[in-house]
Amino acid sequence: MAKETAELTMTTAPDAVWAVVRDFHGLDGWMPGIESSREEGDDRVLAMMGMEIRERLVKLDDDGRAITYTIVEGAPVERHEATITVHADGSGSRVTWDVDAAPDEMATLMQGMYQQSLEAMKTHVGG
């Protein structure tokens, strides 16, 4: 199993970034490649690249500004858990997106996708 991290700093205040991150079902509003996000209980079903991926919310920590989720079906992974955390960084934010996945190549692939997604989030939140 491999652990990888995508990370980005932005000038937007942490609470404003957290408002975007904590919306588990709003990923299609800012993440490139996500065509739609459908809510089904604690799951979100994402349509992307001609397939559907079901992800389950594991933990939402408002105080720590962290959200953890796992892929439960639709992607070629043996195991997946990811956490997005919004940290205060001066007057702005530093966002980390940690992924623990197997096989190792999937963790590396996802880290690259998550890094691009953080860039898109930075544009989305204006900073």
- Please tell me the pTM assigned to this model: 0.95
Pairing outcome for strands 51-61 and 43-48: antiparallel
pLDDT tens over the chain, length 127 residues: 689 999 999 999 999 999 999 999 999 999 999 999 999 988 999 999 899 999 999 999 999 999 999 999 999 999 999 999 999 999 999 999 999 999 999 999 999 999 999 999 999 999 8
Q: How far apart are CA 121 and CA 103, in angstroms?
A: 27
Per-residue pLDDT at 123: 95
Do 102 and 81 form a contact (C-beta atoms < 8 A)? Answer: no
CATH 3.40.50.300 corresponds to the domain 2-125: no
* Number of residues assigned to the chain: 127
List the domain boundaries for the chain: 2-125
